[in-house]
Amino acid sequence: MSLIRSNIWLADGNIVIQADGVQFKVHQGYLARLSTIFSDAFSMPQPRDGAQLRVDGCHVLHLQDSAQDLAVVLSEIYDRIGRKYEIQHIFKEGGSRLRAEFPNTLWELSRFESQAGWLGIDVEEAEGTKVLFRIVNFCTARSDIEELTPILPIAYYRANLRSIETILAGEPRLDDSPSVPLSPKAQRTTLLGRHRLLERYGEFFAWVDSIGQFGSPFDWTPHTPQCSRMILNLTKAVWKPKLRLIFMLRTWDEVERQLQAELGMMLELKSLLCDACYGGARKTRVDARQRLGNDLPGLFGFQSWAALHKVA
């Protein structure tokens, strides 16, 4: 098996840790002081293979963990040192990338979701779920880093686009790769917000029930026969077979396109409803999205966006 030298290769390191064919040159004494798991691993006898006994002058410790998980742990350990000694450029760059992926205004969210995410976090992709859950776990655990707090409302919302089973146990494994569940603290916050989102779901889609009723008594614009018939189709799309939280923060245009595709409509919704119903439905939906966007931090136990902007 060919070996790969990781980016975590410290010039003054005194031991090489190897996992999944990836090697990391680190400090044995420092890691042993931080973690009893590392301390125990360092004290375990290792198989002696002359060709692999030393790398770059260091003994090699073989671990059964995945290289990806080990890289996350080691990066967190050494980044913490960087923060302690005010090496800020790493944190500023990482924080700015995360804030781009998890924006804190509806305008930025709409603009970002029309582009490809730099991490490939997709609501339908298993690998995207793993990346998302790692970010949520990290930012939840490091609540002492104020710059990370503003990304959490959108991050928790996106976590809720997954099923309850995935939130509790991680994405089902299709291969030998480990699942990545949310941490207990992140699970509690995510599920509390999910409960509050579901409480507002009916309010958010009240525009569907109001079709055929928009317009004033003095407005003689006739409702088309399609207005009433569309209620049943739209109700099925947004309520059955289960509630669709993904609809809640999408723009009116995105929701309209999604409904048109799911219902197999040849015509746009605007062409199937009278002007009063279409205009009333659109305004009701846009207003509800704005209210939800404003209230989103509070659904997950945070202060207002304005307060989060101050700490960032």
Q: In tens digits, what is the pLDDT along the chain, a chain of 312 residues?
A: 678 888 889 888 899 999 888 999 999 998 888 788 888 888 887 665 554 568 888 989 988 888 888 888 888 777 666 555 444 555 666 677 787 788 877 777 776 555 544 444 554 566 678 888 888 988 898 777 777 888 899 999 999 988 898 998 887 665 556 677 889 999 999 999 999 999 998 887 888 878 877 765 545 456 667 787 788 888 877 777 677 888 888 888 888 888 888 788 777 888 888 888 888 889 999 999 999 999 999 999 998 888 887 655
Rounded distance, CA 114 to CA 272, Å? 26
Do 172 and 209 fall within a single domain?
no
**Among residues 196, 221, 239, which one ends one of the domains?**
196
Same domain, 186 and 207: no
Same domain, 222 and 186: no
- The bridge status of strand 54-55 relative to strand 58-62 is antiparallel
The answer as to whether 308 is a domain residue is no
Residue 215 domain flag: yes
Same domain, 159 and 138: yes
| Nearest CA among 276, 273, 246, 269 for reference residue 122 | 246
> 149, 169, 196 — which closes off a domain?
196
* SS3 of residue 25 by DSSP: strand
Query: Is residue 311 assigned to a domain?
Result: no
Structural contact between residues 131 and 121, judged by C-beta atoms closer than 8 angstroms: yes
Pairwise CA distance, residues 285 & 294, whole Å = 14
| 8 Å CB contact between 54 and 102 | no
Place of tokens 């079709």: 211
Same-domain status, 124 and 139? yes
Residues 210 and 294 in one domain: yes
Q: In the structure encoding, which two tokens stand for residue 191, read together? A: 């599920």
Do 95 and 184 sit in the same domain of this protein? yes
Residues 214, 241: one domain? yes
Task: Tell me which DSSP letter residue 245 carries.
Answer: G
Last residue of a domain, one of 162, 178, 196: 196
In a domain, 244, yes or no: yes
Residue 82: inside a domain, yes or no? no
Residue 238 belongs to domain spanning: 201-298
Q: Is residue 73 part of a domain?
A: no
What's the predicted TM-score (pTM) here?
A: 0.66
CA distance 286 to 255: 11
User: Are residues 270 and 178 both part of a single domain?
Assistant: no
Domain count, the chain: 3
Query: How far is the C-alpha of 249 from the C-alpha of 204, rounded, in Å?
Result: 10
Q: Is there a single domain that holds both residue 210 and residue 282?
A: yes
d(CA 294, CA 174): 38
Alpha-carbon distance of 63 to 20, in angstroms, equals: 8
Q: Is residue 309 part of a domain?
A: no
CA 295, CA 312: separation in Å to the nearest integer? Answer: 18
Residues 53 and 118 in one domain: no
Q: Which long-range contacts (CB under 8 A, 24 or more apart) does 196-200 make?
A: 196/299, 197/157, 197/160, 197/245, 197/248, 197/299, 198/243, 198/245, 200/248, 200/292
* Domain membership flag for residue 310: no
User: 281 with 275: CB under 8 angstroms?
Assistant: no
Token pair, residue 171, equals: 């994405």
Q: Give yes or no: residues 242 and 189 share one domain.
A: no
